Structure 1
Amino acid sequence: MLERLVHWAIAAPDDALPVPDLHDLQSAMASGDQHAIDVAANCAALGLARMQLLGAAPPAQRAGWRITDSDTAIDLEARLQQALAAGSIDTFFASLRPTHPDYAALRVAYAAEKDPVRRKTIALNMERWRWMPQSLGQSYVLVNTASFETSLWRGGERAGTWQVIVGKPSTPSPVFSARITGVTFNPWWDIPASIVRERHGRFPTGQGYVKTAGGFRQKPGPLNALGQVKVVMPNPYHVYMHDTPSKSLFAQDVRAFSHGCIRVNDPLNLVTALLDGTQNRAQIDALVATGRTTTVNLTRPLPVYVTYFTAGVLSDGSFAILPDIYGRDARLDALFTPGTTECSGSGRR
C-alpha cells in the first residue's frame, strides 16, 4: 500500500494537482512505529483522494461556482478501507478522477503543452471539472458560456450541440445547475426588475409590453425577447435558455450580448431533442403556429449545467484554449496551494 500511495502522490502533477505533503509519513516510517505509519498513510491517502475528487482550490476561490457537487457526500474513508481490504488501492485513486471525456482530453493536452500560460489555463479547467459531480446523469444538458455552446448528452455521448448567446461581461451568465422540467411555446416575458431599472421603466410602444402590478411583461409574438420558445428550468438567478428575434448575432464569433440568459440558435431543434419523441417537430411547429402560450412537460426532468470552461473539446472535435471573457481565470491565482489534511471523520468536506 505504501509503495502505491507514494506512486500516486508523486503522480499528482499529472492531474495538475500538487504533490501531497508526505513529511509525517516519512517521519513515521523512519520511526518504525507501525501504528504511526498507518495513521500517517491513511491521512496522506485521504488528502490526495479529496483533491482528486473535490479539487485542490480552497472555498474562497470557488466563489460563483454554484453547481451542487453531490460527491461531497461520498464517504472516502470507508471507500479507502474497502480498497485496502481488497488490495485495490490503484483502482481507488483512479476512480476518483472526473469521468467526463472532456477531462480526459484536458489531461492529455496538459501533458503535451509546453507553453506555461496555456498550461495554466488547462490546469484551471481540470480543476473546474473536479468541482462538477462525477455523474452528471444518464442524460443532461451542458452549457459552456466560454465556448458559446450548449450540448445535449445521452448515454455518455454528445447527442447534439447548438450555438448560444450568453451574458455580457457586465452581466455575465452565472455558473449553476438546475433541472429542465418542460418547454413553453409562445412565452410571455416577465421582465426582470434589473432590466426595468436599466430602462427606467420605459418600454417602446407597439412591441407588446404590458405594465402589471408587479412590473412589466411582454406579450408573445415576433418581437418578444424570448422568441418562440423558452426552456423551463427553475432557478434563483432567473436565467433560462430561449429563442431570440435577434438571429443576426449568431454570426458573431464572440456572442456575449445578453443580460445573463442563454439565447439558443435553432431552439425548436433543441426542444424537439429535449422532448425526446413526446412531441415531434411537426407537432411543435403546430403549437408555435397557434400563437398561444403552451407548456409541454418533459417525461422526466433533465439536469442542466451552466458552466464556464475556457479550455476543452469543441463540437467539431478540436481542442481549444478560449478567451476568458469574464476574467474568471485571471481571478484564480495561487490555485493549487495544498490545504491542511484532516485525518479524522468520514472523508467528507
Structure 2
Amino acid sequence: MRSNSRRWYLVPGWIAAASAAALIVPFTAAAPGMAAEPEPATAEQAAGRWSSAALGQLINAIEASRAEGLNPADYGAAELRRAAADGQGPALDALATRSALALANDYYFGRVADRGNMQWMIDRSADERAQLPARLAAAVDARKLDEFFTALLPSDERYQALKAALADASGADRDRLRVNMERWRWMPRSIATDYLYVNVPSYQLKVVQDGVQLSSYDVVVGARSTPTPQMVSPTGSLVVNPSWYVPRSIIKTSNLRPGRGGYIYKASAGGGYSVVQPPGPRNALGKIKFNLANNQAIYLHDTNAKSAFARSERALSHGCVRVKDIDRLAAELMSQGGDDSALDQALARSRTATLHLPQTWPVYIVYFTADVEEGGTVATYGDPYGYDARVLAGLGGKSAPDKSLPGKPIEVASN
C-alpha cells in the first residue's frame, strides 16, 4: 500500500531514500540482501530533468512490465500521471527517478530480495547495480528508455519462451511462469556456451556444448531438509576411487559406527575426531567424484545406492548431486578434446587417482519448476523444496515463511 506521502513499501531502500528535492539517489545503504554500494550518485548521474516525452516512455515501460510477470501498479504509473498534471519540477523528477530505478532494479536483478533463504548462491556483481543510475541518465537524455529497460532483461531464449507462454496463461499456470521468470532475472546475464546444467526439480543433469544439449543424466538431489543450493561452480577434474571425508553435519545426525560400512575414525586435536570412508564397494561416493569449486562441499558423484534412480521423485541426498551412469558422463567429458583412455585405466585399478578434464566446465545448479526443453517446449516440474510460494509472495512484496524449510543457509553435507 502507498501512503499519502507516496513512500512505496515495495521500493528497495536504496531507491526509496532518494531525495525528492535534490534528485539525489543515495547508494550508501545496501539493498536487502546486497553488499554496500559505492559513493552516492549525483543528480546528473541519476536522471536529470525528465521531459514529458521521457515521462511518457517511462509510463509505457511500466505498463509493459505486466508482460514480464510483474505488476505495473508497483512502479507508480498512476502517481506519475498525477504528478505530471501538476507540471514539471524537482518533485516530478524525483518521483520519476525512483520509479525508473525501481523497475530497472527488478528487471536487472529480480524483485525478490530474500533469495538466500532459498539457498540461492549465484551472486551478481555489485558493479552492475552501481552502473544503473548512469545508464538511466543516458537513456533519459537520449530518449531511449525502451531500449534501456529491454537491455536489462534476460536475453536467454529460455526466458523468452517462458514470457511467450505467460501471454496465454492464467491462474496457477501464470503464477508458476511468473515465479520462474523471476528466477531468470536472478541469473547472470552472460551464460557460458559449454556447461553442465542441473535443474534440481527436474532431477536431471544436461551436458551443453556450443549452446546445444549433447546428453542428459538422471540425478538424485538434496532432500527437503538438506536442500541442494543453487550455484555456479566450475569443475576441472574428477577423482576415481574417492575417499569420503564425512562432514560434521552427517556425523552428528547419522548412526555411523567405527568399522561399520568401512568407516574409519581418526582422533583430532582437542579431543575431537574425523570420519573417513575409504574407497570400495561400500563407499557412499561410488567410483567417481567430480570436484567442484565451492565452499559448500557440493560436488557431483557416483553412489552405491543406485536403486534411488528408479524413483520418480529423487530429492533424497544430503545436498550433493548423485549422477546415474556417471562413468559415461566422465568418459564424455574426458573425450571432449582429450583422451579418455586414462579414465579406463584408472577405473581398472583400485587406488585413488585424480584426472584433469581437457577443459573446465561451469556447472549451473539451478531451481526452475518451469523450464524449457529442446525445441522450445515449456516443461513443468514439482516443487520439492516448496520455494515457489516464497517467490510468488516476494513478487507481491510479502514474505511467506515456511517453517519446514531452512530459514538460513545450512551446513550442506557432502553426499
TM-score (norm 1): 0.86
Q: Which runs of 5 or more residues in structure 1 are unaligned? A: 340-349
- Give, in angstroms, the shift of residue 226 of structure 1: 1.0
Judged with a 3 Å threshold, the aligned counterparts in structure 2 of structure 1 residues 24 and 159 are, in CA distance, closer, same or farther, namely: same
Q: CA deviation at 1:37?
A: 4.3
CA distance in 2, matches of 1:7, 1:200: 61
Aligned to 1:9: 62
Query: Partner of 1:88 in structure 2?
Result: 144
**Contact 1:52–1:96 (CA<8 Å) still a contact in 2?**
yes
Which of 351, 356, 362 is the aligned partner of 1:303?
362
Moved more, 327-336 or 314-323: 314-323
- The whole-number CA distance in structure 1 between the counterparts of 2:315 and 2:303 is 14
The reply on whether 1:331 has 2:385 as its aligned counterpart is: no
Paired residue secondary structure (1:290): coil
Contact 2:175/2:392, CA 8 A, preserved across alignment = no
The secondary structure found in structure 1 opposite 2:257 is: coil
Runs of at least 5 residues in structure 2 that lack an aligned partner in the other structure? 1-53, 268-272, 399-415
> Structure 1 residues 281-290 or 140-149, which shifts more?
281-290
Q: Give me the whole-angstrom Cα distance separating, in 2, the residues matched to 1:203 and 1:258.
A: 22
For 2:216, which of 161, 164, 172 is the aligned residue?
161
Q: Identity of aligned pairs, percent?
A: 35
Distance in 2 separating the partners of 1:39 and 1:152: 48
Q: How large is the RMSD of aligned CA atoms in angstroms?
A: 2.6
How far 1:65 moved relative to its partner?
A: 3.5
Higher relative contact order (CA 8 A, sep 6+): 1
Match of 1:287 among 322, 346, 350: 346
Distance 1:25 1:128, change over 3 A: same
User: Higher strand fraction: Structure 1 or Structure 2?
Assistant: 1
Is 1:145–1:307's contact at 8 Å kept on the other side of the alignment?
yes
**What is the CA distance between 1:9 and its match in structure 2?**
0.6
- Hey, what's the Cα distance between the residues in 1 that align with 2:335 and 2:211? 16
Pick aligned residue for 2:202 from 132, 143, 147: 147
Residue identity opposite 2:71 in structure 1 = P
Question: Matches of 2:308 and 2:397 in 1, distance apart?
Answer: 43
User: What does the per-residue CA deviation read over 1:162-192, in whole Å, with 9 as the maximum and x for residues that have no partner?
Assistant: 2101122232222233222321111111112
Match of 1:264 among 323, 338, 344: 323
Deviation at 1:236, TM superposition (A): 2.6
Cα distance in 1, alignment partners of residues 286 and 374 from structure 2: 25
Partner of 1:30: 85
Tell me, in whole angstroms, the C-alpha distance in 1 between the residues paired with 2:118 and 2:215: 27
Matching residue of 1:97: 153
Deviation at 1:147, TM superposition (A): 0.7
Do the aligned residues in 2 keep the contact of 1:150 with 1:161 (CA within 8 Å)? yes
Task: Write the distance in 2 (CA, Å) between the matches of 1:49 and 1:184.
Answer: 44
Structure of larger gyration radius:
2
Say if 1:255 and 1:3 are closer, same or farther in 2 by CA, change over 3 A: same
- How far off its partner does 1:300 sit? 5.5
Structure 1 residue matching 2:388: 3-state secondary structure: coil
Q: CA deviation at 1:14?
A: 0.9
Instruction: Please state whether the residue corresponding to 1:254 is helix, strand or coil.
Output: coil
SS at match of 2:167: helix
Instruction: Provide the secondary structure at the position in 2 that maps to 1:133.
Output: coil
